[in-house]
C-alpha cells in the first residue's frame, strides 16, 4: 500500500525560496497571468501615486496617510498571494536533490574505435554509446544495443527483483539511475540533453511543465468576469456618490474593488494546482501536467495490466514438485541448498518455504559452498559443494541442456510438471544435482497484499476495475478473484485493451489505464489518464501522462483522491471567496454612504466604528485570509466517498456559511483593534 511521505510543511529552504519568489513575481509580466491579482497590483500602484501626490485626482492632502496605509495593505495582499505558491518552493527544493544526483553520475562513453572516456552523465548527447558493467549506474535513458544483463530498478520502482535487459524487443529500454547487477550492457543514449526521464522529473517538480486544466481555465474565466462586473459596480458607485454630493477618495474605491473581487481564490488558485502535482510527487507518482492530476478526480473506470501491477514482478516459491522416483525431501534439500546465498526475493522465498517444510539443510552450511550467481546468459544459479558436486536451479530449457551435456537423462514427467505450473500462471524452476533432475520449484505470481481492500474502496468512490492479461481464462479468473477486481479480459491483445477503453469512453466515462510494455502504449495514449509503470519501456512512459515509480496499482487510489481533492478544494475555496464578498459588502458600502445617507446606517450591522476603520478592517482581513487558507490549499480538502448532492450540501454548509460568518467576526475584531489608531489619525 502506498504511503504518503510525511514532510515538514514549510522548511527553512522552502520559506526562503517562497519569500524570494513572492517578490520576483511582482513583475507585471507574471502578474498579468492572474487577472484578479493583477488588478490588485495595479490598484496598489495607483494608491502609491496618491500617497506621493495626494491631490493628483482631485483628492485632499489629509488623505495622504490613509492612502499610504491602503497602499501598504494592497502590497502585502499581492505578496501573500504570491507567497501562497509555497508548493512551488517545495518542488524547487526537491529538484535540487535530483539535480545533484544527475550531476554526480558519470558515464564511460565509447568512441568508434572502442576507446573509453569517463565524462559526467549531464554531458551525454543523443546517439552516444556507453558501456555499463556490473555494479555501475546506467547514466541516462537509452536502448541496449549489445549484451544482456540483470538490472536492479529498485531505486526507481521500489521492487527488489532484478529484470533482464537485452538488445531488441520490449526489454531493451533502460532508465538512467538504475544499476546493472550482472554482466554488462552497451547502451545507445536516446535522450537529448535536458530531455531524459530524470530531467523531466526535475522540470516537473519545479512546476515548469504544469498546464492549466479545463476546470481551472473555466474558473479563471469566472474570476475575470466577476472582476469586470465589480469594476463596473465601483465606477457606478462613484457616479452615485457624485450625485449624492459625497466625495469618495480614489483609494477608498480601489479598496472597495479589491475587497469585492474574488482575491482569495485568485491568490490561491495557482497554489492549489501546483500543490496537487506536489502531492502526487510525494506519493512517488510523476504527473506530466496538472491536467493529468485533475483528470484523476473524474475517473470512472480503471483498466489494469496484471504482471508487475496487480502482481509482483518477482515471483515467490509456493510449492515443490519432485519428478517420479525422487523423494520430495531430497528436492527440498537441494532447492534450499541452491538458495542459501541467493539474496533475490525468489531465493529467499525458496529457503523460507523449505524451512516450513522441514528441510534438513543447516544454514551454517552456506559457508562451505561456493555460490554461482544467476546470469542472463546461463539462466541458472546454484552452488558448488566442497566435494565437487554442482547443484543448480534455473529455467527448464537451461537445466535440460546442462543435464544432456553431462550425459544425464530427462525425466518423462518433467515436461508435464513444467507445463502444469505454466498453465497456472506460475514460473517453474528446475533443480538438478550434477546430471540428475530432482524436480521443480513452483514460483507463484503473487498478488500484492491489500488489493482486495483497496479495490473495494475504489468501488465505494464509484470506480470500476478491469484486469487485462495475456494469461489463459483459468489463470486470469484465479488472479482476478484473489485481487478483487470487478472484471477481467483474458488472452488480451493490445487492440482488446483499446476496445475496452473506447467502450467505456463511449458511455461518457473517464478511463484510467495502467501498463508497462510497448504493447500497452496505444491503450495508455487512448485512456484519459495513462499511468505507466516506470519499470516499463520508453514507449509506455512516453504514451502515458503519469508514471508510477513504485509499480503499485493501488496507488491510483491516492492519486484519484488527490484529483478529487484538487477539484473539491478549488470549489470550496471559490465558494468561501465569493461568500466573503457578502460580509465585505456590509462592511464597506454602508460605511461609505451613511455620513450623507443616514438610512444606510441600518446596513452597518457589524457596528463598525467609522467609514475609514471599516474600509481598512475589510482590506486587512482580505489580505490576511489568503495566507490563512494556504494550509487548506496545500493539503486539500479531505475527501470521503459520498454522493454529489451530499458533498454539495456539506461544501455549502462549511465553506459557504463559513465564508460569510468568518469575515463578519474577523472584520469586527480588526475594527476594534485599529479604531483607536484611525481616530488618532483624524479619520
The answer to whether 49 touches 271, Cβ cutoff 8 Å, is no
CA distance 557 to 593: 54
Q: Kindly write down the DSSP assignment for every residue of 138-172, as one continuous string.
A: P-S-EEEEE-EEEEE-HHHHS--S-EEEESSGGG-
The answer to whether 496 touches 519, Cβ cutoff 8 Å, is no
What's the pTM? 0.58
pLDDT at 86: 55
Dihedrals phi, psi of 437, to nearest 5 degrees: -90, 125
How many CA atoms lie within 13 Å of 443's alpha carbon, on the beta-carbon side? 24
Beta carbons within 10 angstroms of residue 114's beta carbon = 9
pLDDT at 416: 93
The H-or-E segment that residue 658 falls in is helix 657-680
CA distance 148 to 156: 20
CA distance 312 to 302: 19
Cα-Cα-Cα-Cα dihedral sign, residues 653, 656, 658, 660: negative
The answer to whether 143 touches 105, Cβ cutoff 8 Å, is no
Annotation marks residue 305 as catalytic: yes
The list of the chain residues with pLDDT below 50 reads 1-7, 9, 87, 91, 93-95, 97-98, 101, 103, 157-160, 204-211
What three-state secondary structure class fits 186? strand
pLDDT at 536: 66
Cα angle value 556/557/561 (rounded, 5°): 110
CA distance 343 to 258: 65
CA distance 107 to 114: 14
The answer to whether 18 touches 89, Cβ cutoff 8 Å, is yes
Q: Which three cell numbers stand for residue 419?
A: 507445463
Dihedrals phi, psi of 85, to nearest 5 degrees: -80, 40
Q: Which of 360, 408, 361, 365 is nearest to 387 (CA)?
A: 365
Residues 25-68 pLDDT 10s: 788 887 887 788 888 888 888 888 888 887 777 667 777 787 88
Please report which residue ranges of 244-305 form alpha helices under DSSP H: 250-260, 263-282, 290-296
Q: Kindly write down the DSSP assignment for every residue of 17-72, as one continuous string.
A: HHHHHHHHTTSHHHHTTSHHHHHHHHHHHHHHHHHHSTTTTS--GGGHHHHHHHHH
Beta carbons within 10 angstroms of residue 212's beta carbon = 18
CA distance 474 to 483: 14
Kind of pairing between the strands at 380-384 and 390-394? antiparallel
Of these residues, 305, 516, 528, 548, which one is catalytic?
A: 305
Amino acid at each position: 500500500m502506498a504511503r504518503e511521505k510525511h514532510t515538514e510543511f514549510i522548511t527553512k529552504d522552502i520559506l526562503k525560496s517562497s519569500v524570494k519568489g513572492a517578490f520576483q513575481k511582482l513583475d507585471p509580466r507574471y502578474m498579468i497571468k492572474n487577472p484578479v491579482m493583477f488588478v490588485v497590483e495595479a490598484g496598489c500602484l495607483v494608491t502609491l501615486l496618491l500617497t506621493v501626490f495626494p491631490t493628483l485626482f482631485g483628492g485632499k492632502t489629509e488623505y495622504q496617510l490613509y492612502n499610504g496605509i491602503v497602499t501598504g495593505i494592497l502590497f502585502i495582499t499581492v505578496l501573500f498571494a504570491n507567497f501562497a505558491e509555497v508548493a512551488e518552493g517545495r518542488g524547487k527544493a526537491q529538484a535540487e536533490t535530483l539535480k545533484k544526483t544527475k550531476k554526480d553520475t558519470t558515464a564511460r562513453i565509447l568512441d568508434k574505435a572502442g576507446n573509453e572516456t569517463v565524462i559526467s552523465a549531464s554531458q551525454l548527447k543523443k546517439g552516444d554509446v556507453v558501456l555499463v558493467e556490473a555494479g555501475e549506474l546506467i547514466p541516462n535513458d537509452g536502448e541496449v544495443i549489445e549484451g544482456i544483463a540483470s538490472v536492479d530498478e529498485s531505486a526507481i520502482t521500489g521492487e527488489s527483483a532484478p529484470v533482464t535487459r537485452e538488445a531488441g524487443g520490449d526489454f531493451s529500454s533502460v532508465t538512467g539511475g538504475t544499476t546493472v547487477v550482472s554482466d554488462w550492457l552497451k547502451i545507445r543514449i536516446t535522450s537529448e540533453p535536458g530531455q531524459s526521464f530524470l530531467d523531466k522529473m526535475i522540470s516537473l517538480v519545479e512546476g515548469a511543465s504544469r498546464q492549466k486544466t479545463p476546470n481551472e481555465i473555466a474558473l479563471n474565466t469566472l474570476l475575470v468576469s466577476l472582476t469586470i462586473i465589480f469594476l463596473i459596480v465601483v465606477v457606478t458607485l462613484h457616479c452615485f456618490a457624485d450625485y449624492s454630493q459625497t466625495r469618495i477618495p480614489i483609494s477608498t474605491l480601489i479598496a472597495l474593488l479589491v475587497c469585492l473581487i474574488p482575491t482569495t481564490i485568485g491568490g490561491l488558485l495557482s497554489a492549489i494546482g501546483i500543490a496537487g502535482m506536489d502531492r502526487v510527487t510525494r506519493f512517488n507518482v510523476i504527473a506530466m501536467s496538472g491536467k493529468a492530476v485533475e483528470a484523476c478526480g473524474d475517473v470512472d473506470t480503471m483498466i489494469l495490466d496484471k504482471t508487475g501491477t496487480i502482481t509482483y514482478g518477482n515471483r515467490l516459491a509456493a510449492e515443490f514438485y519432485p519428478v517420479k522416483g525422487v523423494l520430495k525431501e531430497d528436492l527440498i534439500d537441494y532447492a534450499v541448498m541452491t538458495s542459501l546465498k541467493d539474496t533475490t526475493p525468489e531465493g529467499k522465498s525458496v529457503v523460507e518455504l523449505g524451512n516450513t517444510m522441514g528441510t534438513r539443510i543447516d544454514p551454517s552450511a552456506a559457508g562451505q559452498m561456493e555460490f554461482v550467481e544467476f546470469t542472463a546468459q546461463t539462466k541458472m544459479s546454484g552452488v558448488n559443494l566442497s566435494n565437487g558436486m554442482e547443484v543448480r536451479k534455473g529455467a527448464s530449457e537451461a537445466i535440460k541442456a546442462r543435464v544432456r551435456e553431462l550425459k544425464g537423462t530427462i525425466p518423462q514427467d518433467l515436461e508435464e510438471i513444467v507445463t502444469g505450473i505454466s498453465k497456472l500462471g506460475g514460473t517453474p524452476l528446475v533443480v538438478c544435482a550434477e546430471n540428475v533432475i530432482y524436480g521443480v520449484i513452483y514460483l507463484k505470481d503473487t498478488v500484492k497484499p491489500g488489493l482486495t481492500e483497496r479495490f473495494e474502496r475504489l468501488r465505494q468512490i464509484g470506480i470500476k476495475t478491469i484486469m487485462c492479461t495475456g494469461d489463459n481464462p483459468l489463470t486470469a479468473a484465479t488472479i482476478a478473484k484473489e485481487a478483487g477486481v470487478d472484471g477481467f479480459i483474458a488472452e488480451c491483445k493490445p487492440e482488446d485493451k483499446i476496445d475496452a477503453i473506447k467502450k467505456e469512453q463511449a458511455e461518457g466515462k473517464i478511463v484510467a489505464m495502467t501498463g508497462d510494455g510497448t504493447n500497452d502504449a496505444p491503450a495508455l495514449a487512448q485512456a484519459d489518464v495513462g499511468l505507466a509503470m516506470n519499470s516499463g519501456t520508453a514507449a509506455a512512459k512516453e504514451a502515458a501522462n503519469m508514471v508510477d515509480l513504485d509499480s503499485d496499482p493501488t496507488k491510483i487510489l491516492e492519486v484519484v483522491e488527490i484529483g478529487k481533492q484538487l477539484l473539491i478544494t478549488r470549489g470550496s475555496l471559490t465558494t468561501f471567496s465569493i461568500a466573503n464578498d457578502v460580509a465585505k459588502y456590509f462592511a464597506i458600502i454602508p460605511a461609505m454612504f451613511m455620513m450623507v445617507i443616514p438610512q444606510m446606517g441600518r446596513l452597518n450591522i457589524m457596528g463598525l466604528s467609522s467609514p475609514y476603520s471599516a474600509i481598512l478592517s475589510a482590506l486587512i482581513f482580505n489580505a490576511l485570509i489568503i495566507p490563512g487558507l494556504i494550509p487548506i490549499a496545500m493539503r486539500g480538502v479531505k475527501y470521503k466517498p459520498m454522493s454529489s448532492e451530499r458533498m454539495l450540501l456539506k461544501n455549502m454548509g462549511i465553506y459557504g456559511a463559513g465564508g460569510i460568518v468568518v469575515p463578519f467576526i474577523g472584520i469586527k475584531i480588526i475594527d476594534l483593534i485599529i479604531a483607536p489608531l484611525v481616530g488618532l489619525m483624524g479619520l
